[in-house]
């Protein structure tokens, strides 16, 4: 069975002290995770080392960077490379989040470069894709997301994509309180898997964890995660509250 993942994206929130208290509280909710379940904390860069130490000895909980640069090294003040992340034993890297695409103009081509560098250094990408409200209203969300996937991932080999992680974000449902229905989530997750299967075959497509990332909360997580092609969630605001995120973790298949 492919990995079922509850990923917490803290974005630019919490002090170090607040974050450590949150992780400490949430670790109590991870004792009963089974072999196919994982929890990932995508924390601000300054906290990565501390949180990594807190997770020592836990085989089901991992740390993620929220981004990395598309160059190996050099005069890029303020950026963080995959090599640097590897040196502090980061596990995952979130790439292509809708906020990075919108505020920092990250293109599909740039994300392909970032993915290549992460794979080169043994980091696991969590590749984000998804459409804005006007694209959803026009009914062209499938072709839009398909293009994101093809331009950023289709240069990879089947071996590189086996067990990969993709997060589908309906941008219109992020921070708005709106949520795609479980049927809408299943429909586009299944479509994403079919796009992958068309190039790489069913075995590879069925190995890929596709997370839902749009206003996931305790009240809707079980229904959304229960869909056959939804393999957990990339969670924003609700991941900042211990009780909420603990309930989301318990909603994993």
Catalytic residue numbers read 97, 169
Contact between residue 62 and residue 92 where contact means Cβ atoms under 8 Å apart:
yes
Taken in order 10, 12, 13, 16, is the CA torsion positive or negative?
positive
Q: Which residues pair with 212 in a beta bridge?
A: 168, 233
Q: Which residues pair with 22 in a beta bridge?
A: none
C-alpha separations of 107 from 14, 66, 133 in Å: 28, 16, 19
* Residues 28, 24: Cα–Cα separation, whole Å: 7
* Residues 7, 235: Cα–Cα separation, whole Å: 6
Contact between residue 248 and residue 29 where contact means Cβ atoms under 8 Å apart:
no
* Residues 199, 190: Cα–Cα separation, whole Å: 15
* Residues 188, 141: Cα–Cα separation, whole Å: 8
Counts of helices then strands in the chain (DSSP H, E): 12, 8
| Nearest Cα residue to 247 out of 212, 213, 223 | 223
Contact partners, residue 244, CB within 8 Å, separation at least 6? 217, 218, 238
C-alpha separations of 85 from 32, 47, 56, 121, 124 in Å: 29, 12, 17, 9, 11
């Amino acid at each position: 069975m492919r990995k079922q993942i509850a990923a917490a994206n803290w974005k630019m929130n919490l002090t170090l002290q607040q974050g450590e208290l949150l992780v400490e509280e949430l670790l109590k909710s991870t004792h009963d995770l089974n072999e196919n379940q994982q929890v990932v904390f995508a924390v601000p860069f300054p906290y990565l080392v501390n949180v990594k130490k807190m997770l020592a000895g836990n085989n089901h909980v991992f740390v993620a960077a929220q981004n990395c640069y598309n160059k190996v090294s050099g005069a890029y003040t303020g950026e963080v490379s995959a090599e640097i992340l590897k040196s502090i034993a980061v596990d995952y890297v979130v790439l292509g989040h809708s906020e990075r695409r919108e505020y920092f103009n990250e293109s599909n081509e740039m994300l392909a470069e970032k993915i290549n560098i992460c794979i080169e250094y043994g980091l696991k990408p969590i590749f984000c894709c998804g459409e804005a409200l006007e694209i959803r209203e026009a009914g062209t969300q499938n072709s839009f997301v398909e293009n994101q996937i093809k331009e950023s991932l289709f240069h990879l080999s089947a071996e590189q994509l086996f067990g990969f992680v993709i997060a589908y974000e309906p941008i219109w449902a992020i921070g708005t309180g709106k949520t795609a229905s479980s049927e809408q989530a299943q429909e586009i997750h299944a479509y994403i898997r079919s796009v992958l299967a068309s190039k790489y075959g069913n075995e590879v497509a069925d190995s890929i964890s596709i997370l839902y990332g749009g206003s996931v909360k305790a009240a809707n997580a079980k229904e959304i995660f229960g869909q056959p092609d939804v393999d957990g969630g990339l969670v924003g605001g609700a991941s900042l509250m211990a009780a909420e995120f603990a309930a989301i973790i318990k909603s994993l298949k």
